[in-house]
Amino acid sequence: MPPLIDHLKIEWSINPKTGEQQYLYYYKGKQCSTDLIKGPLAKQYIGYSLIMKDLEDAEGWLRQAYELCPQKESSPAKPNQDRFHSGDIGDEKNHRIVKSLFFSSLIFYGKCFTQADGRGVKLEKSNLPIQYHERHDRVMNYRNTLAAHSGIGNWDTGKARLVLPPIRDKNIGLHLYPELHRLDFEDDRIDDHSFLDLIKHVQIHVQKKIPKIFDVILKKIVLEKPKDYWYRSTPKNPKKARRRKK
């Protein structure tokens, strides 16, 4: 017998009165009965599913940033040359787009390791192989000092430079220029364990976690009761919502 998922179609809409999302499920054109599974295991399942979506967003945004910012080769004499971009990512419009994509990736990656109150689960540095720890620490440092806070660490700082004219002339004024030390984008594509590699590796970890929780819910909650129990507990005629493909 083929799994339900092989022919399952999911449609959703927004309830115009409550603003809530409404989901409808169809198997070969026929609407399915549904029931909510609640409890700690269900919350874990949803938590890791949300984490997976955040990682997919982080990966997508970072790939877009790379597409807009061609990779530059670093010279052997200056290995860090062109790794950090704080003002040379093309024109102003392109620069702002690359920066926003990069920062969005930092924020959503960091969110998977820091936010747990609502989801109930979060990832840990110990989930990663040791070769990824240094890159993870670097990314989290950027997230903490650039996106979540300000003025902490080596970035998001600066100096006030007094600029005097080359000749003493009372008709030429002085200027105080802010020499800002900012990080708008880091291109680490040439590294063995880049930010993109890190995101993809974390995704693999979460991809293994989700089906394990799924199996536990199925065995300990769903299959503990006969199938008739679940059919009796669901509405016979679920209210149909405006269809919208997901």
Q: How many domains does the chain have?
A: 1
Query: pTM above 0.85?
Result: no
Say if 13 falls within a structural domain.
Answer: no
Q: What is the pLDDT of residue 47?
A: 94
Res 237 pLDDT > 80: no
Res 76 pLDDT > 50: no
**Which is more confident, 152 or 175?**
175
Say if 120 falls within a structural domain.
Answer: yes
Say if 243 falls within a structural domain.
Answer: no
Q: What would the mean pLDDT of 200-227 be, rounded to a whole number?
A: 93
Residue 83 — very low, low, confident or very high, per pLDDT cuts 50/70/90? low
Say if 174 falls within a structural domain.
Answer: yes
Q: What is the pLDDT of residue 205?
A: 94
Q: What is the pLDDT of residue 1?
A: 44
The whole-chain average pLDDT of the chain stands at 83
Q: What is the pLDDT of residue 242?
A: 45
Q: Which domain holds residue 172?
A: 33-233
Give per-residue pLDDT as tens, 181-190.
878 888 888 8
Say if 188 falls within a structural domain.
Answer: yes
Say if 144 falls within a structural domain.
Answer: yes
Say if 187 falls within a structural domain.
Answer: yes
Say if 131 falls within a structural domain.
Answer: yes
Per-residue H/E/C for the chain: CCCHHHHEEEEEEECCCCCCEEEEEEECCEECCCCCCCCHHHHHHHHHHHHHHHHHHHHHHHHHHHHHCCCCCCECCECCCCCEECCCCCCHHHHHHHHHHHHHHHHHHHHHHHCCCCCCCCCCHHHCCHHHHHHHHHHHHHHHHHHHCCCCCCCCEEEEEEECCCCCCCCCCCEEEEEEECCCEECCCCCCCCHHHHHHHHHHHHHHHHHHHHHHHHHHHHCCCCHHHHHHHCCCCCCCCCCCEC
